[in-house]
Amino acid sequence: MLFDDLKSANADVWRAYTHHAFVEGMADGSLEEASFRHYLVQDYLFLIHFARAYALAIYKSRTLDEMRAGLDGVKAILDVEMGLHVQLCGQWGLTPEDIEGAPESRATLAYTRYVLETGLRGDLLDLHVALSPCVIGYAEIAERIAGPTGRTNDGNPYGIWINEYAGEAYQSLAADARTKLDTLAGGPVSSTRFDDLSRVFSQATRLEADFWQMGLDCAD
């Protein structure tokens, strides 16, 4: 699969992202709450731009099926995930005002604009490769740290997050996203094309690691 090739070609940066200290802190519950709260707020702002990225995917589509897939992405974010996010934030003592009024951190801005600009410069495959470290990476991270039995009752304060992304619904969504990359590629890609996509994948993965770091540091 194209995704596996991209991961292999960027093994170090992928590991730095998927095994980031923020992730390990969620895994063993040692992550500072302030870091998680900071992350949650920025993740809300991030979602807004991810909805814009899926809207761009609709615009860039060449078939009705691709358009409907993009629409599912926008709906999932604007109609469902943002509401859930506000709820989750509430459980951590954050009001809607805390979230909506928060200034966008550098890491949020850098990653989201990189994804969007990559999608505008290139084609639909470029856009989905730029989205893949987030969409597919979260599934991989959560599955690993959930372990074979999940986190449902282990008292880890980050269990909700882990179980959400380790759950069947999200794992299935991520599996679809992997398949989609191959569908969009329409067959093996040339080495020039692979190098271009690998550069996009590498940058996007690095920017995702920066996003964890921003959470850890409560950085603006």
Catalytic site positions? 134, 208
Nearest approach, Cβ of 82 to its own copies (angstroms)?
A: 8
Q: Which residue number, 21 or 189, has a Cβ lying nearer to its own copies? A: 189
Nearest approach, Cβ of 128 to its own copies (angstroms)?
A: 13
Q: 172: how many CB neighbours lie within 10 A of its CB?
A: 11
Nearest approach, Cβ of 177 to its own copies (angstroms)?
A: 19
How far is 183 from 186, CA to CA, in rounded Å?
A: 5
Q: Which residue number, 148 or 187, has a Cβ lying nearer to its own copies? A: 187
Q: Which residue number, 15 or 68, has a Cβ lying nearer to its own copies? A: 68
Q: Which residue number, 64 or 169, has a Cβ lying nearer to its own copies? A: 64
Torsion angle in degrees (nearest 10) through CA of 115, 118, 122, 126: -40
The Cα-based distances of 171 to 106, 117, 125, 137, 142 in angstroms read 29, 27, 21, 10, 9
How far is 177 from 175, CA to CA, in rounded Å?
A: 5
Nearest approach, Cβ of 192 to its own copies (angstroms)?
A: 4
Give residues in contact with its own copies (CB under 8 A): 48, 51-52, 55-56, 58-62, 64, 67-68, 70-71, 74-75, 78-79, 104, 106, 109-110, 113-114, 116-117, 120-123, 126, 185-188, 190-193, 196, 203, 206-207, 210
